[in-house]
Amino acid sequence: MKIALVTSLGTTIVALVGCGTPPTYRALMQDVLLEADYWENEPRIMAVGLGFTDINGTPGVSLPLGMAELAVFFNGGSWNTIYADVDPEDVPLRAYTSAVSPIGMALGFGVPSFYGDGTPMELSWPVLPSTVHPEDILITLNTGEQVQPVNISIMPNFEYNERSTLVMNGDFGNRLDPGQTGAVYPVLFEIVDDGTPMMLLGPGGRIESAVGLSYGDGATPLTAYGDGNGPRLCAAKLTRMEDGMLGEGGPTFFSGSLPNDGVALYGKDAQYRLRMLTTGGFSPDGVRSLYPTEYASFFRIKVGMSPEQGDVIWLEQTGVPYTIGDLGTIEILGLADLGPLQDVYDDTYIEDHDNQIDIILKGDVAAMRCIQAVHIPASGDYLAFYNPGGPGNNPFPTVTYTAAGPEWLQPVTIAIDDPMQVSYLPK
C-alpha cells in the first residue's frame, strides 16, 4: 500500500540523518498555548477536506533553480515568475513555489512526506499538540477505502495563539473533478481513539477528548478540485487588539515571518483585530504571499446600524473613517498575521502562509459592535483566493490545479467583552 511504503521511507530517511524525530517538530508540538483562539463554545470539526495533492515532499525542489523548476513541474506543482528587479538567486524558494522538500516536511511534520496530499482540518477549539498523532484520523474515500495520514502537524499555525488547525499528509485522492470517472476524494473524516486520544482545550480551560468528532456525510466530495471547491472562511471573530498579543510568537526555528501582528505593522493605531479562520492557505494565485496592503482587493466588511439589523454600510477601503450612524467611526488599517513590516511589498515577500488572517481596525467600540460579516466577493473588481495547490502566475499548461475559492459571506462573532481565548502550559 502506498501509505505504508511512504511511511517506511520517511522513517528510514529521518533515521539515516541521525536525528530520529527532528527537534524542530518536537518544539512545534509542545503543549504551549498562550491566549489561543477558540471559535465556538462546543468542540467540533468546522471544516476539513483534501487541499491539494502530491507536492508536500517534492524530491529535487531544493536543487538549483532550473532543476528545481523541472522537479516541481514533473510533480504537478506551480512555479511563479518573479517580476521584482532582484537577483533570482536571492529570491526565497517559497516565492517561487508552494512545493516543499521531503526534509522540509520532516522539520515541520516529524517525518517526510513523499508526494503528500496536504489536507487541513479546522477545529472549533485549539488542540494540545502533544496529543496529536496520524493514527488519530480515519479518512474514508469515495471508493470505500479507509486510510490514515503519514504525518500530521499544527504547521504552519505555529504561533502560540493559533493552533486550532491541523494539517495532515498522505494519499487521499487525485486531481480529477469529483464528477469525472475515476475521481478519488475523501467523503468522511473521523477522529478515533488510538490509545492516546487527541485532546482539545476549550472555554474555562476545559480539556476534552476529540474522539468521536467527524465531518462529512459519506457521499459529498471533500476536495478542493472542481469548480467552486477552493478555499473559504469557516469562522471570524472581533476582539480588542491587546487580547491575544501574549501568544504572538512561536518556536524559534519557525519564526522568520515574525513579528507580523497588528501592533508590529500599524503601531498604536491598531485597536481591534478581526481574525478570520480559513479552510486552508489563502494566496492570490496559490504561491504568492498575500500583502498587508491588499485588503481592498479581496475583502469588504458588512456593518449594520445596530448589531442586529438596519441599514447596511460596506467598508471597502483602508484609511477611510466610515461613520456608523451616531455610534462613531470604523477605519480599516490593513491586514496582519502575514509577514513582517516592509517598505515595499512585491512578489519576493514571504508571509507565514497559515490559515489565520487579521483585519486591523481603529475606531469607536459602539461602532465596532455593529460589524456583522466579512465578505469575499471573489469576482468583479475583487480577486479570488487559491490554496497552495493553485496555478501560480505562470501555470504549466498540462497540469491540473486546485480551483479558486467561491464568493463567501462569513458572520463575525463579536468577542470584544470576552475574547474567547485559552492558555495552557506544560506542568
Q: How confident is the model at residue 16 (pLDDT cuts 50, 70, 90)?
A: very low
Task: State yes or no: pLDDT of 307 exceeds 80.
Answer: no
8 A C-beta contact, residue 109 and residue 155: yes
Work out the average pLDDT over 181-188: 98
Find how far residue 31's CA is from the centre of its chain: 20
Amino acid at 296: A
Largest CA distance in the chain: 67
Q: Which residue reads 483585519 in cell numbers?
A: 359
Q: Return the C-alpha torsion angle 341, 346, 350, 351, nearest 10.
A: 60
**Interatomic CA distance for residues 303 and 323, integer angstroms:** 11
Instruction: Give residues with Cβ within 8 angstroms of 182, minimum separation 6.
Output: 174, 176
Residue among 73, 79, 152, 91 at smallest CA distance from 119? 152
**Interatomic CA distance for residues 72 and 115, integer angstroms:** 11
DSSP string of 55-66? EET-TTTTS-HH
- Distance of CA 91 to CAs 321, 350, 384, Å? 37, 10, 25
8 A C-beta contact, residue 314 and residue 303: yes
Summarised one tens digit per residue, pLDDT across range 197-248 is 999 999 999 999 999 999 999 999 999 999 989 999 999 999 999 988 999 9
Task: State yes or no: pLDDT of 146 exceeds 50.
Answer: yes
Summarised one tens digit per residue, pLDDT across range 316-365 is 999 999 999 999 999 999 999 999 999 999 999 999 999 999 999 999 99
**Interatomic CA distance for residues 134 and 150, integer angstroms:** 6
Query: pTM for this one?
Result: 0.94
| 8-state DSSP, 95 | H
Work out the average pLDDT over 191-198: 97
Q: Return the C-alpha torsion angle 152, 154, 155, 158, nearest 10.
A: -160
**Interatomic CA distance for residues 130 and 27, integer angstroms:** 10
8 A C-beta contact, residue 238 and residue 416: yes
**CA atoms in the 13 A half-sphere facing the CB of 130:** 10
Task: State yes or no: pLDDT of 156 exceeds 50.
Answer: yes
- Return the domain boundaries, the chain: 2-424
Task: State yes or no: pLDDT of 309 exceeds 90.
Answer: no
Work out the average pLDDT over 6-30: 67
**Interatomic CA distance for residues 24 and 121, integer angstroms:** 22
User: Nearest 5°: CA angle at 227, between 384 and 52?
Assistant: 80
